[in-house]
Structure 1
């Protein structure tokens, strides 16, 4: 994501969940309630960080590639893949020591950004500069790449269905979301979804596709097959990303200009609450971007690019539990239980 000027007027959502204390110190503390490892792509530092979620400490940081963005962990947890947005490759690292084991080139002007490591073992990535997505078969063996055109400008983020036959992208420049069939000879289907759509998530049961449009402060529910817009919901200011809780009951948008999160009930397609992570007063100082759920759905991790921190938020109470230090410009995240 490129830097930009925030709107002059910052909109504060009402009914904020209690306990979202913007003054929470950026000092990691040990937690007896959480386990696992967090990986963070530091886009300004061109590095990759590994954070122990028990201690809250950054245990390892190594050089990665130019302007790294999104991350995805392998199904077996042994590797993490990194989209090198400033270049043309998807790079793969061991999760243990962050040693690089592969670099897969997607071609001239690729600018990979969104990335998915599917349960089938294959990788899928957007190639924004080529207006396409890539299917990378056998990424740790003898990689084969297959390119599918979206025909849209700024194909930025993507999701892939459980059968790995269909992918969907958000296309910032074209103001669309696009459905791409990867195993059938069917032309892509695109639909307009507000200004600068970026966030995207598929409901766990595949029943709905959700998109957030950062330029119009809205989220959209779409039919994944027909791409018909089913619902339009107003969110907080500049909903950069959207993530669905593993339980499938709610979606959350990362509202950069508010410094908060909007919680949307997926059954009713209505906003049910908001969570203050930093609040509008600190929004420009924190500059929150990517959001990521813990596997149990109890915590939300919020990358704060300007302050080089990741906020750990308790979903039930809305309280910021810790701020975890990371490298310069932490953005994309992936987690291992």
Structure 2
């Protein structure tokens, strides 16, 4: 009997030490999120990867919803928002704690369906709701959707919000249009009651471009919007001052998916999901500079703010290609999970 008690006590002592050791090793191996982190969506694994951009090591993979597409970080770099798209049928945005590296909560976007692209401006998350032909806005303070507006266009897909939150640009893929939404104020009329305040009145201008125009970007000086079409491979350039099409380039980038300006505004990168090409244009001359074969299907594009490199999600190849912006060559492949897509920066002050 005494021997039995001895072995029981001995067992708990050993297992207790083992548990302490495992906890210690786990804690030592845990890698905290750096102040400047790269975020990458894996559509196949349903994860958000947090990557150290200095070492290019994946620090954490956080589970997200069943069809993640685009991601953005809050201004303080502590929180990420991931759109759960479902081809326009789903209605969730996942909120991720980037410091603790864990899911926080899920936003139910109903009655807005199909959140796809997302931006974070003026401490609020602005997103497209493709299934509802609309854009919406989420306030993290009140934890509510506080504004939305319909575009009346088919497949309102990608979004850009100006830094003052007064203008929104979207591409409407199946309608072949760009929506320009401008926030204007209407002053109270003569018949308004005393104390009436001005009210918001968002005005939409629809600019026809090529059908299939999806990926787009606004030039750093805010003067032009470039978008590339998957169907005819053309690049449409919209003058944002005049709010109309100013040029169309027969670029022959069939299957065009995403488009981004380099940080200095001199070049434009366009990816093709159909061919796996990365096509680079000179923004001033509007001529092709280079066409790179980087895989079998290229999607999301993210520029490094330092101006040294670009990250291209090659969805069909299950890697992110890293491009040197000086030599315009592929320097490395990064594994962030199967079918990578949306990319973003999270920067803590």
TM range (shorter): 0.7 to 0.9
Gaps of 5+ in 2: 1-34, 186-200
Please say if 1:304 is aligned against 2:304: no
**Partner residue, 1:70:** 70
How many angstroms apart in 1 are the aligned matches of 2:345 and 2:136?
23
In the alignment, which residue of structure 1 is the partner of 2:175? 174
Once the 2 structures are TM-superposed, how far is the Cα of residue 97 of structure 1 from its aligned partner? 3.5
Corresponding position of 1:117: 120
Alpha-carbon distance in structure 1 between the residues aligned to 2:159 and 2:222: 14
Q: What are the equivalent positions in structure 2 for 1:156-305 lying under 5 Å apart?
A: 156-184=157-185, 185-235=201-251, 236-268=253-285, 270-278=286-294, 282-283=295-296, 287-305=297-315
- What does the per-residue CA deviation read over 1:38-74, in whole Å, with 9 as the maximum and x for residues that have no partner? 2111122222111222332222112101200111111
Q: Do the aligned partners of 2:222 and 2:240 also contact (CA within 8 Å) in 1?
A: yes
Return the TM-score normalized by structure 1: 0.82
CA contact (8 A) 1:40 1:333 kept: yes
Secondary structure at 1:188 match in 2: strand
Say whether the 8 Å CA contact 2:92–2:107 is kept in structure 1: yes
Aligned length: 294
Question: By how many angstroms is 1:333 displaced?
Answer: 0.7
1:273 Cα deviation after fit: 0.9
Between the aligned partners of 2:217 and 2:293, the Cα distance in structure 1 is 21
For 2:137 and 2:313, how far apart are their aligned partners in 1?
27
Contact 1:106 1:145 (C-alpha < 8 Å) held by counterparts: no
1:129-149 CA-partner distances (Å, limit 9, x unpaired)? 000001223x25543421111
**What's the TM-score once normalised by structure 2's chain length?**
0.79
Structure-1 separation of matches of 2:149 and 2:79: 25
What's 1:88 paired with?
Answer: 91
The answer to whether residue 169 in structure 2 is matched with residue 131 in structure 1 is no
Runs of 4+ in 1 over 3 A off after TM superposition: 140-144
More helix by share: 2
8 Å contact 1:240–1:289 — kept in the other structure?
A: yes
Query: Counterparts in 2 of 1:316-335, with a 5 A limit?
Result: 316-335=326-345
Verify the 8 A CA contact 1:255 1:261 in the aligned structure 2: yes
Q: Greater RCO between the two (CA within 8 Å, min separation 6)? A: 1
- Whether the 8 Å contact between 1:221 and 1:231 is mirrored in structure 2 is yes
Give, in whole Å, the separation in 2 of the partners of 1:221 and 1:114: 21
Instruction: Show the 5 A alignment for 1:5-24.
Output: none
Q: Is the 8 A contact 1:148 1:180 kept in 2?
A: no
Q: Which residue of 2 aligns with 1:99?
A: 102
1:149 correspondence with 2:158: no
Task: State the match for 1:31 in structure 2.
Answer: none
SS for the counterpart of 2:181 is strand
RMSD: 1.9
Distance in 1 between residues matched to 2:237 and 2:154, nearest whole Å: 21
